Amino acid sequence: MATTIQVSQELQQELVKRKLSERETYEEVIWDLLEDNMELSKETKKDIEESRAQIKAGKFKTLEQVKNELGF
């Protein structure tokens, strides 16, 4: 369900400044701002910890290694 909200001219100008592109909607800008303040899910935190452990154990490839393997 869509709704209309009123914002001040000042807030509207701030939202315009935060757009990453002309085509980005105000809703997308607001979601991006909210996402910055949202708590990470338990699954995401678990994935981050697993990734850190893999990096610490040396189980990773650099971008250069991947490029070489793919012939770039």
pLDDT of residue 35: 85
Model pLDDT for residues 7-46, shown as the tens digit of each residue: 999 999 999 999 999 999 999 999 999 987 888 889 999 9
Predicted model pTM: 0.52
Task: Give the C-alpha separation, 34 to 26, whole Å.
Answer: 12
Whole-Å CA distances, 68 to 9, 34, 58 = 52, 39, 19
Does the pLDDT of residue 2 top 90, yes or no?
Answer: no
The answer to whether 29 and 18 are in contact (CB under 8 A) is yes
Residue carrying structure tokens 């001219």: 9
